Amino acid sequence: MSTNDLLLKNIGANSHYPINFAELEEGAKQILEPGPFGYIRSSAGGEETYRKNTESFFKYSIIPRFLTDVSTLNTEVTILGHTYPHPLLIAPVGVNKIAHEDGELAVSKAAAKFGFSYIQSTVSSYSIEEIAAETNGSSKWFQLYWSSQNKEVSFSMVKRAEAAGYEAIVLTIDTTMLGWREEDIRNQYSPLKRGFGQGNYASDPVFMASLSDHSQETIVNNILENIYHPTLNWINISELRKHTTLPILIKGILHPEDAKLAVEKGMDGIIVSNHGGRQLDGVIASIDALPEVIRVVNGRIPVLFDSGIRRGSDAVKALALGATAVCIGRPVIWGLATGGQIGVERVLENFLQEFRVSISLSGARNLEEVKNLQLLKD
């Protein structure tokens, strides 16, 4: 039997894999130790923002159009000079080996297979070069955690990303220090202290040359010192600009004034995000911050979005509110934990299919029409 209906195509093909976020999370809980599971699942403080991130999506309802002939669908998007098959990216998530031995290699390969741009974290288990070697030709961006102790380490990593063919730099601005994460204290669990997330540091000539010795203890301590960067400010961003020709996006914008400053300071793009509720608890849900940011940016630079995206229809809502593209975080990591590369492939394939069918059923045929969809806000 052959069918063009995406749902019917999947019945029979995919039935033995967890399908929604809750099932994936539950599957990961069965497999992982409490420390790593809690690290990925949890967020800061009383997890108020974490809950708001997903619950706030319910406030926005799509008002669909019908009778528009949705037999064709074009999800292509051009961001900073590159054209992508769809506006979905993998959010930067560090220390993937705590979820699965194949870590970022599994995620980046699955991403390449389904046309998701891969944003690699500074604190990856595998290095920029290792990932580039295994995902030749696919789209990759590099997320930078500023090194305040030694800025040269930041400049070196950015150069390496550029040399490896990465397309953009994402500077995360909301993690000058880690948020207050009670689950990790309860579990006495810090991946960095346990030696995870060294891929880009242990392979960095500038970082390694700065150490007194190359023992594990020295490497761990220096990563911890470098990654703590409370002094980060706009001047650092202009310094960074001098060390790369790649576009720079800043990740973690919530306030419209910061969005305005980002445009004025010449940033190439921003990502509206509250880090999945993992930084300051009590901050605004990311989806609620988006409309004002879109208003002040007024189309001058791309505005990407993450935090709380769980399924394809969530991505449609973010795009209808004006986001240029959307990054997926925890669902991907639960796929990794439950099935390695194959698990991530299932998650991405299902996500993409729900995303596509949601657009068509809303009456839109391309992203311009998605942007013009009407949303009702409660």
Sort 159 into a burial class: Cβ within 10 Å, 0-12 / 13-18 / 19+.
middle
Q: Which of 27, 94, 199, 339 binds ligand FMN (CB under 6 A)?
A: 94
The angle at the Cα of 291, spanning 172 to 67, to the nearest 5 degrees, equals 120
The whole-angstrom separation of Cα 29 and Cα 62 is 33
* Nearest distance in Å: CB 27, ligand FMN: 16
Q: How far is the CB of 88 from ligand 173 (least distance, A)?
A: 20
Element (H, E) at 254: none
Q: Which of 244/273 has CB closer to ligand 173?
A: 273
Interface mask (CB under 6 A) for ligand 173, residues 210-249, using x and -?
-----------------x----------------------
Q: How many residues are listed for the chain in this entry?
A: 378
Closest CA to 122 of 149, 106, 104, 98: 104
Per-residue buried b or exposed e for 213-232, using 16+ beta carbons within 10 Å of the residue's own CB: eeeeeebbebbeebbbbeeb
- The footprint of ligand 173 on residues 277-306 (CB under 6 A) is 278
Q: Which residue is nearest to ligand 173 (CB)?
A: 94
DSSP state of 366: B
- Tell me: does residue 335 bind ligand FMN (CB under 6 A): no
Beta bridge partners of 83: 78
As a whole number of angstroms, the distance between CA 270 and CA 113 comes to 26
Site for ligand FMN contains 27 (CB under 6 A): no
**According to the binding rule CB under 6 A, does residue 38 interact with ligand 173?**
no
State which H helix or E strand residue 374 sits in: strand 374-377
Q: Which of 324, 355, 301 is nearest to 62 (CA)?
A: 355
Residues 89-108 that bind ligand 173 (CB under 6 A): 94-95
Q: Which is nearer to ligand FMN, 99 or 364 (CB)?
A: 99
User: Is 315 among the residues that bind ligand FMN (CB under 6 A)?
Assistant: no
Q: In this chain, which stretch among 17-25, 258-266, 272-280, 290-298 interacts with ligand FMN, using CB under 6 A?
A: 272-280
Cα 298 vs. chain centroid, distance in angstroms? 23
**SS3 for 2?**
coil
Of the pair 41, 86, the CB lying nearest ligand 173 is at 41
**Binding residue (CB under 6 A) for ligand FMN from 103, 308, 322, 340:** 308
92 interacts with ligand FMN by CB under 6 A: yes
Question: Which residues within the stretch 40-79 sit at the binding site for ligand FMN (CB under 6 A)?
Answer: 40, 53
Identify which range of 67-75, 102-110, 198-206, 302-310 contacts ligand FMN by CB under 6 A.
Answer: 302-310
From the CB of 52, what's the least distance to ligand 173, in Å?
17
Q: Residues with catalytic annotation?
A: 275
CA 106 to chain centre: 15
Q: Which residues bind ligand 173 (CB under 6 A)?
A: 94-95, 123, 175, 191-192, 197, 227, 275, 278
